[in-house]
């Protein structure tokens, strides 16, 4: 029996990973990084910081001060929106501001019940925008993000210098223990592969994306696309907002920037495998637009790209075809090379770059689980809340 097709498959896998390495917008590079503020000569515009917070009483004492105490030359206010919390989120936020002597800088808003057709977080952000004073920019940021003192200065400086409509940051996510070390860095790695940051940030690029933990949005661009009402039901609100602004933010299309910052850190604890699984499965099938064909193609592509090299190595060794495992090992080496910068960014040992196929398998299973939950009409609860109900 001829086994020549193994070498053909190996050549295809090697070509695939060589293409991703060389021609996929350098997705593997941890760049661009948020630059420092380059000028003090700006007429610094007024900014409203909108913080949707649901059950964040534990984290707010650590994160809210980093926003209230921003070293920003212009005027800014913070609007904390209690998104139907079941703890003392609102009171804790108020006490933090009072303890710092900055109560006049904080507006603490008890959110209204989520209307039909709205996602809870988007509704909370919309209430914050509605309450905030009229300003030039909104900083939409999650309550678990700790900001460096010059966060606002750097973001606004970047937006003014590059004339941006939306600038967002992929913050350093928290990872503890084996499962989070295995799964959290690949979460960012896969996102960057789907939406190469350099392509998003290019004025000529067609790809739109944003990282929802920290987004600076120009007020005029947001109003032009119809405000947050335009993405009212979006589960993946950051991608929906980026898409809307890219398409309609200006006559020639909105200008986006997406980058990294190791100084912006999420303090969210995921709780190991179960916590990451729940986070991903709640929205993975929504990312595929609830399309079974996209599910099959996505899972199949992940299997081929990440498990194909291992299968090729095993088959080639089993039937004594030395070229096949050599090609599989070469593809695997490029895969690990692409992942290594992310491993370094998360300060993990180099050998973690070899564990990407295992992480890919688990993410494929999470995606399938997300689809099964949707088909069974048993949506995954996230932070104690169901996905948005459609308008009747």
Percent of the chain with pLDDT over 70: 94
pLDDT of 258 strictly over 80: yes
Compute the average pLDDT of residues 272-299: 92
Percent of the chain with pLDDT over 90: 82
What CA dihedral angle connects 306, 311, 313 and 314, to 10 degrees?
150
pLDDT of 382 strictly over 80: no
- pLDDT tens digit sequence for 175-191: 999 999 999 999 999 99
pLDDT of 68 strictly over 50: yes
> Which residue's structure tokens are 């990440």?
306
pLDDT of 380 strictly over 80: no
Backbone φ, ψ for residue 262 (5° rounding): -80, -10
The confidence band for 240, taking pLDDT boundaries of 50, 70 and 90, is very high
pLDDT of 253 strictly over 90: no
pLDDT for the residue numbered 1: 46
pLDDT for the residue numbered 176: 93
Closest listed residue to residue 8, CA positions, set 308, 301, 302: 308
pLDDT of 391 strictly over 70: no
Compute the average pLDDT of residues 307-320: 89
- pLDDT tens digit sequence for 330-364: 999 999 999 999 999 999 999 999 999 999 999 99
Q: Considering the chain, what is the average pLDDT of its residues?
A: 92
Compute the average pLDDT of residues 362-378: 92
What CA dihedral angle connects 97, 103, 107 and 112, to 10 degrees?
60
Least confident range from 184-188, 283-287, 292-296, 304-308: namely: 283-287
pLDDT of 390 strictly over 60: no
pLDDT for the residue numbered 379: 61
Closest listed residue to residue 16, CA positions, set 389, 330, 249, 321: 330
């Amino acid at each position: 029996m001829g086994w020549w097709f193994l070498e053909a498959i190996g050549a295809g896998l090697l070509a695939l990973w060589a293409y991703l390495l060389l021609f996929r917008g350098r997705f593997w590079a941890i760049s661009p990084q948020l630059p420092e503020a380059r000028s003090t000569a700006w007429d610094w515009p007024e900014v409203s910081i909108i913080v949707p917070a649901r059950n964040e009483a534990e984290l707010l004492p650590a994160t809210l001060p980093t926003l209230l105490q921003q070293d920003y030359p212009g005027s800014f206010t913070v609007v904390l929106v209690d998104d139907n919390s079941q703890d003392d989120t609102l009171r804790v936020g108020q006490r933090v501001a009072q303890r710092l002597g900055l109560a006049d800088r904080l507006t603490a808003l008890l959110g209204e019940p989520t209307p039909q057709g709205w996602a809870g977080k988007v509704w909370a952000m919309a209430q914050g925008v509605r309450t905030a004073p009229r300003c030039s920019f909104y900083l939409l940021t999650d309550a678990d993000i700790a900001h460096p003192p010059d966060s606002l200065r750097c973001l606004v400086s970047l937006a003014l210098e590059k004339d941006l409509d939306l600038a967002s940051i992929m913050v350093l996510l928290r990872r503890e223990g084996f499962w989070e070390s295995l799964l959290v860095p690949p979460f960012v790695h896969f996102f960057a592969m789907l939406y190469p940051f350099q392509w998003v940030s290019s004025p000529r690029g067609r790809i739109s994306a944003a990282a929802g933990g920290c987004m600076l949005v120009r007020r005029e661009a947001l109003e032009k696309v119809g405000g947050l009402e335009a993405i009212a039901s979006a589960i993946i609100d950051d991608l929906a907002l980026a898409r809307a602004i890219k398409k309609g933010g200006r006559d020639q299309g909105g200008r986006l920037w997406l980058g990294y910052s190791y100084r912006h850190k999420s303090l969210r604890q995921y709780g190991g495998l179960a916590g990451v699984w729940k986070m991903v499965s709640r929205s993975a099938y929504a990312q595929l637009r609830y399309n079974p064909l996209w599910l099959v193609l996505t899972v199949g592509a992940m299997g081929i790209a990440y498990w194909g090299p291992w299968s090729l190595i095993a088959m080639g060794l089993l039937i004594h075809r030395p070229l096949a495992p050599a090609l599989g090992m070469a593809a695997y080496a490029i895969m690990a090379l692409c992942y290594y910068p992310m491993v370094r960014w998360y300060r993990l040992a180099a050998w973690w770059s070899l564990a990407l196929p295992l992480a890919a398998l688990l993410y494929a299973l999470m995606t399938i689980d997300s689809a099964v939950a949707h088909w069974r009409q048993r949506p995954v609860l996230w932070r104690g809340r169901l996905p948005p109900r459609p308008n009747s």
